[in-house]
Amino acid sequence: MHGRESGPGSRKIAALAGVARAGGWNVACLDYSHTTDPALRLAHLLDACEDTCHPLLLVGSSMGSWVAAEAAARRGAQGLFLLAPALYMPGYPTQAPPVPAGSTEIVHGWDDAVIPYANAVRFAREHRCTLHLVQDNHRLDACIPLLCDLFGAFLARLGRAG
């Protein structure tokens, strides 16, 4: 799930989708550009995942991470990979959604001026998530190769592709 101001074809989303496809996963990059309302984006994702019969892995960036995290418990996601997640942010329906224990990883930039990295640290500590803090800003564009490496390793740990 892309962030508030990007789209399903962004460099970061396309790179991660390529890693997933190479690992044998089916990929759907939903387009949420019609709304910046996190609740509407969540409803769109829940509808899209309703009939999924494969193991579900949700990946999101910024607002898309909040959407993915909120949908995880409701749709029985096997894992979550969250980039600069919009957690503990004003204006969102919930602040810290429940996530799959042991199969949630977060990547956040030290220099994120949009969402403080401390939010990711707090969430990771409270929910026992793996957290990678990287030298980058909110977009994480400078570390796309590292994101791909981390995501590939995450997929390998999850095992069977969906």
pLDDT digits (tens, 9 = 90+) for 41-73: 999 999 988 887 778 899 999 999 999 999 998
**pTM, entire model:** 0.92
The domain defined by 11-158 folds into Rossmann fold (3.40.50)
Radius of gyration, alpha carbons of the chain: 14
Comparing CA positions, the residue from 19, 6, 162 lying closest to residue 84 is: 6
The band of 7, judged by pLDDT with boundaries at 50, 70 and 90, is low
Q: Which residue has the tokens 């898309």?
A: 64
Domain ranges of the chain: 11-158
Length of the chain: 162
Assigned token pair, 148: 């791909």
Quickly list DSSP for 64-84.
Answer: HHHHHHHHHHHHT-SEEEEES
Q: Give the per-residue pLDDT at 30.
A: 87
pLDDT tens digits, 84-141: 999 999 989 999 998 987 899 999 999 999 999 999 999 999 999 999 999 999 999 9
Distances (CA, A) of 77 to 46, 54, 71: 11, 10, 8
Q: Give the per-residue pLDDT at 123.
A: 96
